[in-house]
Amino acid sequence: MPRYALKIEYHGAPFAGWQRQADQPSVQGAIEQALAQLEPRDHTIAAAGRTDAGVHALAQVAHCDMERDWKPFRLSEALNYHLKPQPVAIVDAAQVDDAWHARFSAIERQYLFRLLVRRAPATHLKGLVWQVKSQLDLEAMRAGAAHLIGRHDFTTFRSTMCQAESPVKTLDEITIDERPHETGTEFAFHLRARSFLHNQVRSIVGTLERVGAGSWPPEQVKSALEACDRAACGPVCPPEGLYLAGVGYPDDPFG
């Protein structure tokens, strides 16, 4: 059976997350239903990461096994037809080796978190950003983030429901950019690592927002990390500002 890698974009608001669920809509379920329209049978796809309810993706990656040979462009076009009107799109497809796996072949994940500082309610960006009202100190947040780079025990910054065997992860990059708008300011947090713990990104951004607001000194991020205690974490920010922005592989199947 030929195997195909799919690069997927979606708006997470209508879904209970990536993972298929019996009684709630999911991104995985939507794509598997579209695949069943092309080849009527049960389909199971595997993804690079399982995003939570309300979390978006710019470049999620999954793979599927088909019975017939499809030209990748035709497969993506056919899937997009059957995915309508749901906010899910196959932006690229590629045939891969049978041993290639969307999750286990990946060597890094990249996340983007968008935070909007604005007093008036967001209109065009509603559901796509986390909105706060008070201005944030960019340099203070960068100073706080610097304490998290490298290999650490991230117990403080993971959900108590996290199923990872170890809380030790290597965070390769956190960069924060400021983007002025006419009626507000957007802060874009970029995080890169081989893998992440459950709620790690949202816990980190929620903590750094406290630093930017002046409620925490940057050094408190280091103390929180070293505490290895979930109670030492800042507030976990909401999911609507989070995007799975990219997945890296030794050989990019879409290159």
Average pLDDT over residues 197-212: 98
Domains held by the chain: number: 2
- Among 42, 72, 105, the domain-final residue is 105
pLDDT confidence of residue 82: 98
* Residue 52: active-site member: yes
Q: What is the pLDDT of residues 27-61, one digit of tens each?
A: 999 999 999 999 999 999 999 999 999 999 999 99
Closest CA to 13 of 61, 76, 57, 59: 57
Tokens of 126: 């509603």
How does strand 88-96 pair with strand 150-153?
unpaired
> What's the N-to-C CA distance of the chain in angstroms?
22
Is the same domain home to 198 and 81? no
Do 150 and 222 sit in the same domain of this protein? yes
CA distance 21 to 221: 36
What does the pLDDT read at residue 181? 81
Domain assignment of residue 254, yes or no: no
Whichever domain contains 235, its CATH number is 3.30.70.660
Do 157 and 192 belong to one domain?
yes
| C-alpha–C-alpha distance, residues 77 and 85, integer Å | 14
Tell me: the pLDDT tens digits for 158-180?
999 999 999 999 999 999 999 98
- Could you count the other beta carbons within 10 Å of the beta carbon of residue 50? 16
Contact in structure between 180 and 94 (CB atoms under 8 Å): no
Residue 178 phi/psi, 5-degree rounding, is -110, 130
Q: Are residues 180 and 232 in the same domain?
A: yes
Domain check: are 229 and 125 in the same one?
A: yes
Range of the domain at 161: 108-246
Q: Do residues 67 and 147 share a domain?
A: no
Paired tokens of 254 = 């879409």
Task: Give the mean pLDDT of 207-219.
Answer: 98
Q: How confident is the model at residue 190 (pLDDT cuts 50, 70, 90)?
A: very high
What percent of the chain has pLDDT above 90? 96
- Annotated active-site residue in 23, 42, 52, 137: 52
Q: Is residue 122 part of a domain?
A: yes
Beta carbons within 10 angstroms of residue 184's beta carbon:
19
- 3-state DSSP call for residue 85? coil
What is the residue-averaged pLDDT of the chain? Answer: 97
